[in-house]
């Protein structure tokens, strides 16, 4: 409310909140203009010139940008484009990131919370269909946890839950996500994983946990239900099958896993494998700097080479997959270096932040690459998804868009 620049928090059309500075200077109805609505629908494009109606009825020409937040967007307004470099904006970005993390994390264990699972499941289900990559879930329940609390106390119980989360996180892949479902129940969302591989993962987790001696308590066991998402079923229907599998595991003696053997992976294999994803370059993606645009187009080409090599049904082997991946990663490293040099020459004010984003993308790429190489070509779906969604869609279409104004005079 007391941020030094005007802010508008947009939940849905007709549902908005404004900080004190916006209310003091501008009419709330200003944000319904087509220009601002376009800005809200495409957050991350950087600062754009817009008009607002002042409290006295006159028009004010300002700059605005939209930032995504959980369940909405924040609009930030400033008198000049240079305001984007102010320390306050960086503080706002950090605050948004901190709030999003806090709102998504279970305070006790550090795992993602159930509310975040609801948000993530929807996007992962859509991604599974789009890329024809299976999606499975494990529902893990700590056996006889009530006895731990009754015998050793709730503090010991809390320690057990934290140790359990640490054990699971050490075993699952970087691309997988762990959520606290509630109480002593946890969900692992396993991307690009059919029910057979999910069963193997569940058995590894069950054995690892059974052999562990929990601090102040000793050995404990877990029961695990496994289910792969199937067809066009809703998240509720999928998780109902998952809950039934866990129920059967507990009722049949605990310390065991039960798998619901239905899922898209069997159907897609029967249909002849996964459909080929292909990235398509469009002229609208160009920023106007010839070297950057040429390297972005090459990024698309190399990513498509990897996709064709790694997908089932192609003439694939680990050597050719690794060769295509090596070429793509090498290009990413060279492109990021060249891009940073060009932006430094142009005096790009947010260069350090941009360089740090490059470092994170390369590090995550290598982590997923190592996981895929060790697990075989079937695990390349998570890597392909990351390259298409994070490196191309999210980075090129959001972070890179922020520097496009530097080269607008180059575009015809």
CATH number, domain of 224, equals 3.30.70.270
Q: Pick 102 or 211 by higher pLDDT.
A: 211
93: in domain: no
Percent of the chain with pLDDT over 70: 79
Q: What angle do CA 7, 47, 389 make, to 5 degrees?
A: 100
Mean pLDDT across 301-330: 72
Residue 300: partners with Cβ closer than 8 Å, 6 or more residues away: 279, 280, 281, 392
Mean pLDDT across 299-311: 76
Q: What does the alpha-carbon distance between residue 166 and residue 160 come to, in Å, rounded to a whole number?
A: 10
Q: What does the alpha-carbon distance between residue 402 and residue 202 come to, in Å, rounded to a whole number?
A: 43
In the predicted structure, residue 377 carries a pLDDT above the cut 50: no
Average model confidence (pLDDT) across the chain: 82
Label each residue of 303-365 as H, E or C: HHHHHHHHCCCCCCCHHHHHHHHHHHHHHHHHHHHHHHHHHHHCCCCCHHHHHHHHHHHHHHH
Domain count, the chain: 3
Asked whether residue 264 falls in the same domain as residue 120, the answer is yes
Q: Which of 72-76, 77-81, 353-357 has the lowest mean pLDDT?
A: 77-81
Asked whether residue 210 falls in the same domain as residue 125, the answer is yes
Structure tokens at 22: 């916006």
Helix, strand, or coil (residue 50): strand
105: in domain: no
pLDDT tens per residue, range 81-135: 545 445 566 666 666 666 666 667 888 998 989 988 988 898 788 878 766 778 9
Asked whether residue 353 falls in the same domain as residue 224, the answer is no
2: in domain: no
Asked whether residue 320 falls in the same domain as residue 242, the answer is no
Q: What does the alpha-carbon distance between residue 149 and residue 158 come to, in Å, rounded to a whole number?
A: 9
pLDDT tens per residue, range 174-193: 668 899 999 999 999 988 78
pLDDT tens per residue, range 132-152: 778 999 999 999 999 999 999
Which residue range is the domain that position 32 belongs to?
7-85
Asked whether residue 143 falls in the same domain as residue 251, the answer is yes
Dihedral angle computed from the Cα positions of residues 45, 382, 102 and 48, in that order, rounded to the nearest 10 degrees: 0
Contact 43, 58 (CB under 8 A): no
CA distance to 32, 44, 178, 368, per residue, from 38 (Å): 10, 12, 35, 35
Helices first, then strands: H and E counts in the chain: 13, 12
Through-space distance between the first and last CA atoms of the chain, rounded to whole angstroms? 42
Burial code (b: 16+ CB inside 10 Å, e: under 16) for 186-209 equals bbbbbbbbbbbbbbebbeebbeeb
Asked whether residue 122 falls in the same domain as residue 45, the answer is no
Residue 12: its H or E element? strand 7-12
pLDDT given at position 146: 94
| Torsion sign across C-alpha atoms 189, 192, 195, 199 | negative
**CB neighbours of residue 240 within 10 Å:** 13
Asked whether residue 237 falls in the same domain as residue 326, the answer is no
Dihedral angle computed from the Cα positions of residues 264, 269, 272 and 276, in that order, rounded to the nearest 10 degrees: 60
Q: What is the pTM of this model?
A: 0.54
């Amino acid at each position: 409310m007391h941020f030094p620049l005007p802010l508008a928090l947009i939940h849905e059309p007709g549902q908005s909140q404004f900080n004190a500075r916006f209310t003091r200077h501008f009419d709330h109805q200003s944000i319904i203009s087509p220009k601002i609505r376009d800005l809200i629908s495409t957050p991350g494009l950087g600062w754009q010139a817009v008009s607002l109606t002042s409290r006295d009825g006159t028009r004010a020409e300002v700059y605005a940008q939209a930032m995504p937040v959980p369940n909405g967007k924040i609009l930030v307004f400033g008198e000049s484009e240079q305001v984007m470099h102010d320390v306050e904006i960086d503080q706002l970005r950090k605050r948004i990131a901190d709030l999003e993390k806090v709102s998504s994390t279970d305070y006790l264990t550090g795992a993602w919370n159930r509310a975040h699972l609801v948000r993530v499941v929807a996007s992962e289900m859509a991604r599974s269909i789009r890329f024809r990559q299976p999606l499975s879930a494990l529902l893990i329940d700590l056996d006889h946890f009530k006895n731990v609390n009754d015998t050793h106390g709730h503090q010991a119980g809390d320690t057990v839950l934290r140790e359990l989360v640490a054990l699971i996180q050490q075993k699952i892949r970087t691309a997988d996500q762990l959520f606290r479902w509630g109480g002593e129940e946890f969900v692992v969302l396993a991307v690009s994983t059919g029910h057979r591989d999910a069963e193997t993962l569940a058995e590894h987790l069950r054995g690892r946990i059974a052999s562990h001696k929990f601090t102040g308590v000793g050995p404990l066991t877990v029961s695990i239900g496994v289910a792969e998402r199937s067809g066009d079923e809703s998240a509720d229907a999928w998780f109902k099958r998952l809950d039934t599998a866990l129920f059967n595991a507990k009722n049949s003696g605990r310390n065991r896993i039960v798998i619901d053997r239905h899922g898209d992976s069997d159907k897609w294999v029967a249909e002849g494998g996964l459909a080929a994803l292909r990235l398509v370059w469009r002229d609208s993606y160009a920023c106007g700097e010839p070297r950057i645009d040429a390297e972005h187009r090459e990024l698309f080409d190399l990513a498509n080479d990897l996709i064709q090599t790694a997908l089932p049904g192609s003439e694939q082997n680990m050597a050719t997959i690794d060769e295509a991946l090596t070429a793509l990663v090498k290009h990413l490293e060279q492109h990021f270096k060249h891009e940073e040099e060009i932006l430094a020459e142009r005096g790009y004010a947010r260069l350090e932040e941009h360089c740090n984003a490059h470092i994170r993308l390369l590090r995550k790429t290598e982590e997923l690459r190592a996981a895929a190489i060790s697990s075989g070509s079937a695990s390349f779906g998570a890597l392909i998804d990351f390259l298409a969604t994070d490196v191309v869609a999210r980075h090129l279409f959001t972070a890179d868009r922020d520097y496009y104004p530097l080269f607008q005079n180059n575009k015809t």
